[in-house]
Every structure is written in structure tokens, then in C-alpha cells.
Structure 1
Amino acid sequence: MDPFNTLFASTTPLIDQLSQTSPQSLDFLTIQNEIISCINDLEDSVKVVESNNTNILDNPFGEISNDEIIDRKNKIKSLNEQLNKILIDKNVSTLKGGYGHNPFADQLTITTTTPMTDLNKDDNNNNNLDSTTREYHQQLLQEQDNLISNELTNSINNLHQQAVSIGDELDYQQDLLDQVENNMERLNFKIVNTGMKRINKFLATNEMGGNCCIAILIVVLIIILVLLIIS
């Protein structure tokens, strides 16, 4: 299938989609640029066909007649006219390099036969549209900047509040750890102190009992010796 017809068939729905899209929408510029790119590709393909017709070996689709070339040019012209009409109807035909810039505005001016007085009126209207549209888009950009700035400020404030809360929680946890450490030190001191006292008391008690036992054994031995001597 010829690539020209395929590309032309895919461009036509974009024209209908553009006519139903608001010029203030971001999709409008995307669709418009896609249509312009398709039209440029179609024009380039016609130029290639015209140049390749001189040498049949360079044309992979065979020689294309002049009638077919004229028909293709008319199709491209129709696409340009439809695009221009949409842009004019949506008051974006004079935005040079702007949000809805019409790259075919100059071609449309050349092909029309409008009196000079009407052209002057159109120029005044276009200047008014330029000023109004620029003001609108500047206001739109300012609102977007304000919205982004406000959201960024709110995000920074939220992060600051979260950081402060985390810091307070860490301080609280540190205080709890300090209290636990102090309690452990006091408990260890009590355990060690009480244990040492009990051990010393036990040793002292054992020492006294041992002395008493030795004294009793000595007395018993003396009595036994006396009894043996007497007997």
C-alpha cells in the first residue's frame, strides 16, 4: 500500500479530533503539532515522487502520473485549509510561536483575495486577539506557578512538621532510656550492697560456730584423757 495514502488516512481523524478539542487544552497543541508533522511528511513525499519520476529505477512504487500528483497536492491543500479553518474558528490563527500557533497562516493570506480595507481590519482584530491571548496565557501560567509554589510550600511545611515530630519522639525515647539506665544502676547497687552484707554476715556466723565447735572438742578430749588416767 502507498505510504502517502496510509499517512493521509491517519491524518484525517486528527483533524476531526482537533476540531473537538479546546485550544486551552494541552492536547490541542499536541494534536496540532502532529497534524503539522503529517502534512510536512506528505509534502515531502510528493516532492520525492516528483523527483523520482525522472528516473523510474529510484521510485519503489513505480511511476506515478501527474494527475495523481496533482490529486495528492489537492489533498494536502485540503488538509491545510481544514487546519486553518479550525484555528481561525478557535481564535488561535494569529498566535505566532504561541500556544496555538498556525504555521500555515501566511499561506492562507496569500491564497485569499481580500480587499486591503478588510486586511487592515483583520490586522487590528488579530492584534487585539494577540494581546488578549497573551494576557490569558500569561495569567494561566501565573496561576500554574502559584499553584506549584503553594503545593511546594505545603510539602516543605509538612516535611518540616514531620521532622520536628520525629525529633521530639527521639528526645522522648532518649529520656526513657536514660530513666531505665538510672533505675538499672540503682538496682545493681542495691543487689550488690545487700548481697555483700549477707555474705559477710554468713561468714561471720560460720566463723563463730567453728570456734565453738573447736572449744567443745578440746573440752571433750581433756575429759577423756582425765578418765583414762584415773582408770
Structure 2
Amino acid sequence: MTTPISACQNENSVIRIIRMKNRIIRIANCGFTLRIGGFTFTELIVVVSIIAVLTSASIMGAINISQHARRVRARDDVQALIHGVLQYQIDMGFFPPDVWSGIDPGLTQPLPNNPYGFYPGPGGGIWTNDAGLPSNWQDIVNERWNGPYIEHFPQFTPWKGLYDYNYWPTPSACHPHGIYIGIQPMADTGANSIPAVDEQYFIDEQIDVDGCNNRYVQVLIQSLD
């Protein structure tokens, strides 16, 4: 196939012949012919274009699979946490106390704990807020606890943020008072929040109860109204 070149600088154009095994590139008389391994230049471009399209489709498919896997894992983690919290409530007669992000509220051990030794609460300790609980709640837990209520506490979300058990005895700006599992960013830096497209998925599925795409997913376990 011969393709015209847009401009000729000289009537006597330079003729070069390069032979490398089965490749022949011939440029002559203000035009060129390209053959590589029996393919014309146009055919080669078509093949490369097809490969590019297939590669792009494969990459997008891999991204979609990875995105779906993260969503499924988050749903599974939240369901396991909800089940554990409800079992705890049945045995104790009350819900676990509110705890700092990433802290087990008492599902793998009787009292709130940090099973992975990472990201301690304020002051380096296990922060809790026992508002709404009996004054002797720790004694009750030590007597009635019949766990573990979950095989392991999933501290990190699929987006490398933190799960947070939230006991809000009074209403907040976005939520009525109740018991929630949060899919949240790192509490100290705000990093690793759930992407907006993934939070919108949880909103559309009516899992994120506030209906607000703010990078904080809150899954209601039980309202305290």
C-alpha cells in the first residue's frame, strides 16, 4: 500500500532501503511503503488498535471486579459486626459502650480492647463512652459475657480506613440517636475514606442511612427513639 507524504522538500528524494530479517521499510519518491512481517502499515495499525481496545476493556473489567470485591467485603464485615453486637445485647441486656474508631467494643473479649495494638484511642488508651449504660455495666459484662461474638474484629475497611462502632445516645447532626456501624476514614488524619462512588452505592442500596455522600457510611443497627 502506498501513502502520499504531505510535503516534498526535494525532487530527488533520498532513497533508503533497510532490511532487517523480514522487515522492509522503503521510502522513495515522496512516498513510502511499510511492511512488517507481511502486514501493511494500515493492517498493523488496526491490529494495534484492537489490542489497545482489548487491553483497556481488560483493565476496566479488573477495576470493576476489584471495586465489587471491596463492596462485598465491606458488607460482609458490617453484617458480622451487626450480628456480634446483637448477640452481645441479648446476653448483657444493653449494647456495648461507644468506642474510638478501630476499637473492638467487646465482641472478641469481655471489655473494649484493641486486638491489633494499632491506633490507640486518645491518650494512648482504650477510650469508651458509657453514656446510656448501667453504672455497673463492667460487672455485668464480666458476669454474663458469653462470647466471642465475632471470629475477629475487622479493624480496617477495604479502603484502609477504620470500622467504628457508634453508640449515640443523643441525636447527632445527621443521625437520630441509635446504634451504628461506621465505615469511616482514619480518625486522626481523615485519610482513606470510602470513595464517593462506593458510598453512593451504599446509599442507593439503602445501607448508608443518612443518604448523604460525605465519605462516612453509617449502618443503623437499632434506633433508640
Q: TM-score when scaled to structure 1?
A: 0.25
Q: TM-score when scaled to structure 2?
A: 0.26
Q: Which of structures 1 and 2 has the bigger CA Rg?
A: 1
**Structure with the larger RCO, 1 or 2 (CA within 8 Å, 6+ apart):** 2
Question: Would you tell me which structure has more strand in proportion to its own residues?
Answer: 2
Question: Would you tell me which structure has more helix in proportion to its own residues?
Answer: 1
